[in-house]
Structure 1
Amino acid sequence: MNSHNNHINYIELYANNLEAIKSFYNKVFGWTFTDYGPTYTSFSNSGLAGGFEHTDKPITNGALVIIQHDDLETIKAKITDSGCEISVDIFSFPGGKRFQFIDPSGNELGVWSEE
């Protein structure tokens, strides 16, 4: 098993204004950003990799914790076998694939794998 399997690997947050959020975190904390299109930016120099996704919806719980795993199909099956719901099925993005699920307490988390 890969030493990165089952580790929290990425934190995703929502933002209503990507330019304002980048300016704030850069100015206050020194984070740097890489844009991936008009609706997503990743941050670095923060201690843990992460990114901001643009949303027009009100933000009430803006964090999405991402867990890394090499075998998305196997871990997805374990999640559903445990009675949890898949909230977003497997999809591709630059650098990998991911899906999201709802844990027994109602928290939404993601699992990703490099391509």
Structure 2
Amino acid sequence: MIFKLDYLELPSSNGDATSRFLAEAFGWERITYGPEYSGASGAGIDIGVDSSAERVPVPLPVIRTDDLDTAEARVRKAGGVVTRAQFDFPGGRRFHAREPGGTEFAVYVDREAD
């Protein structure tokens, strides 16, 4: 089973300004996915900028797996609380959870692995 931290989602009240900042300050290239979501390449880890109303208010580590249902069961068994049930997104399917110490994270499966 795969568990790999490979994405960091940044919340933003102004996605354009955040993406411009990341490009100007660090040289990371903006990738536009839609009006409320963009990415940045060149950071060493994939980065998303979420300016939607549903965004998580803090940076969100995103963990890739190859079996979402088993991952969710393991998170629950280890004491995690699912904060957002499994849902589809353009890259695949994911859920959000919070570990006992309070950090919220997402676990996803690629569309190809689904």
Say whether the fold is shared (TM-score over 0.5). Answer: yes
Tell me which of 31, 36, 55 is aligned to 1:34.
31
For residues 31-71 of structure 1, the C-alpha deviation after alignment (integer angstroms, 9 at most, x for no partner) is 111112111001101111011100569x9x62100111000
For 2:47, the equivalent position in structure 1 comes to: 50
Runs of 4+ in 1 over 6 A off after TM superposition: none
Following superposition, the deviation at residue 83 of structure 1 comes to: 2.6
For 1:15, the equivalent position in structure 2 comes to: 12
* Aligned residues between the structures: 110
Q: How does 1:1-115 map to 2 (within 5 A)?
A: 1=1, 5-55=2-52, 62-115=58-111
Quickly say closer, same or farther: Cα 1:95–1:86, change in 2 above 3 A. Answer: same
Q: Hey, what's the Cα distance between the residues in 2 that align with 1:62 and 1:55?
A: 13
Matched-pair contact (CA < 8 Å) for 2:37–2:52? no
Quickly say closer, same or farther: Cα 1:67–1:35, change in 2 above 3 A. Answer: same
TM-score, normalised by the number of residues in structure 1:
0.87
The two structures, once aligned, show a CA RMSD in angstroms of: 1.7
TM-score, normalised by the number of residues in structure 2:
0.88
Percent identical residues? 33
